[in-house]
Structure 1
Amino acid sequence: MEFLFVFHKDYETFRLPELDSVAKLLNVQISYSGTLEEDDIFLVVKCPSEQDATNIANRCILLRGVYEVLSTGDTYENLAKNARVFIDQNPNWAERYLTENTTFKLNVVTFGKKRPNKQELIDNFMHLPWKGKVSLESPQLQFDVLEACTLPRDKDFMNPKTVALYFCRKISDSARDLITKYDLKQRKFIGTTSMNASLSFLVANQGLVTSKSLIMDPFAGTGSLLVSAAHFGAHVIGSDIDIRVLRGKQYNYKKKEIIKSLKTTEEKEQWKEKQEIKDKDFNIKVNLDQYGLTKKAGLDLVRIDLSQTYAWRFANNKIRKGPALDAIICDPPYGIRAGARKIGKEESEIKIIPEEKAKDHIPSRIAYEPEELMADLMEFAARSLVVGGRLVYWFHCGPDFIEDDLPKHPQFKLISNSIDVMTQKQHRRLITVEKFN
């Protein structure tokens, strides 16, 4: 069966990798021809069933929705005529959807062009054999006219050219509402490196995260990626070299804003005294609690130095032998916003830490070069991921990037490479690799 998949225009190079990954995690065989260029939003996809298409849409962030195409045409008049031909030639379809006991809505959706008089366009379809009742609020069926426009070569902004025109039955919306639900502006615990909801859920989809997954972020920070994985029911593990990150200290930027807003020193001191009681519970767990995910996710927080990869050894046991992680998702620190560090000392001298101070002691740290960090990350992933498990990570680079710049490992194959242009000189790429042996 063929369906029309309609995409948003943001994160263009992420759209097909997300679609392919979601289809794989749902075990749905899909096929399509061509690639989505920057201005393209329509893609015809072959899918086994309508339910499979719906399941894919319900997981994708970059989709608008999935449709059954009833007719195409070069004008609204021809589109409506072709729709009538389709209905007359498919009586079984009409008996199923154009019945008296259904409610429906007819809508015109334009991309790249404004249509101020949509009702005049809808009037073209009034001759169709509608039998149900119109419901604008909660219809059982929705029929959309989809029009995509683009600027002609002379860039006449007042007269964009129609490049695609479809009359469709809407099958399903996407999971786009997750972006609003998990918006960072509403998050209780954030920092400068917290990743927005759109990208966090794209990482989770690339990692094939399900309710049966064991997921780890070795650079957890404020837990943005862990929250998205936990939403899909995964058990999540977060680690970081900085114990203050895991405890939440010095990362509550909203708290600093509140303190700045207080006028007198006395007010600030009183507020700080009350807040100290809450600080011990103010960390990544607060974000999972906010969305009711803590119990389901079974959050574990571990302080670890990634350079010491031998620290992660999964014991052979009756439950699960050997590697245990289904995916590693992370945004490694590259020095752009937060430089990477590892445990060590510049000097050769060794100081003995008194036993009474050992519990809260924070070891000295030295710079962790990006090449060394990535080599350790790949080795850690090779040791701890199951076969078929994925490592999904952000790779910061410049505009002169070539694929040979990516770290290599004999146990991984490249699945996708999508670019997010942050500034003219600073780009980042979402890299997905899969362990194959």
Structure 2
Amino acid sequence: MPLAVWFVAVVAVSFALAYLNSSGWFWIGAGAVVLLAGLGSGAFPMDLFLVLSAIFALCSVVLGVSPLRRLLVSRSLLAWYRGQLPAMSQTEQEAIDAGTVWWDGDLFSGRPDWGKLLAVPRPKLTPEEQSFLDGETEQLCAMVNDWETTQVYQDLPPHAWQFIKDKGFLGMIIPKKYGGKEFSATLHSQVIQKLGTRCSAATVHVMVPNSLGPAELLLHYGTEEQKNYYLPRLAKGLEIPCFGLTNPHAGSDAAAIPDFGIVCKGMWEGREVLGMRVTWEKRYITLGPISTLLGLAFRLHDPDHLLGSREDIGITCALVRTDTPGVNIGRRHNPLNAVFQNGPNWGKDVFMPLDWIIGGPKMAGQGWRMLMECLAAGRSISLPSSGTGYAKLAARATGAYARVRSQFKTPIGKFEGIEEA
């Protein structure tokens, strides 16, 4: 066997062992076999075999014995690697610490355990949830359709809006003790999916208050006073919420938003209080043009050290009433002629008490963690559910059209290319 052929065999065996994620002892055994095969086939002489064997034995001992490997190899490599990495910012650390990892982590391993996923019992709706899906949700679907909302009303019909408020669609995630429905994520998903097959505007208007919005943040981080006041009003539709995260210059990257607040003292309701003056510009805010309660994300600074030694407090989330002096709600936008309510808002040096921070002053600077943990509701429930509903509607409409549209005296649905699709 020529030496070049033996070398190719070594590379092939190495790739196979790496692909199979073989243990260290398999590598050592395979290496010994490959060396002996090279000697036996005449790929190299005995003296070269002895040299290669000595090198192989040394590497096997150093890498195969865990304490020795950690002492001689791992420690030095880890120290060098850490020296090459940039320092982790507080924002990055909070992002890593936010949330948990379940089966989704298996996907990134490249070898997901499907049995673990399939062992999870199928979620079931409670009788109350099933009744809501078969009753109120079906009634709402009968009230709306995309053609009417787009061509006639340029919005949801007023009676549909009132129905959404009266029947608790805006409070599906809010506990019953606050006047909400306290429905499961399964029902939340099915309601959004069903609405998605009927009217995109109704879908968005229902899903946003039940995912990333003041209610979600209040449930996890709000003070008891904030929960007791706002959650009943949100559940009944007395407050229309929106959340201001997206900035024209930073998008939805919360770590990069230029919106800021300065801790200071100011007059509020006739007395001097500790508060903050906030300047912001937000765009693409769903429900923004009609909202009465604005969740606002900004970076808080404390140059006078009124809260402590830190000057850069960090990303903070606050609840702001849209009728507060200085809050500007821009004209409604109409992206792609989608008629769900969407538009900008902004403010300059708007004074607000520290009590408006979600969770109170002690939660100043915790906004990044709040957003990372609560965005999951929208990303894992609302958006996939609405997308599935839209896909079902598209499949039904295109399938029906393919049956009634004829070409060459044949429905186009029978054309081979369309049949395959």
TM-score, structure 2 length as denominator?
0.21
Larger relative helix fraction: 2
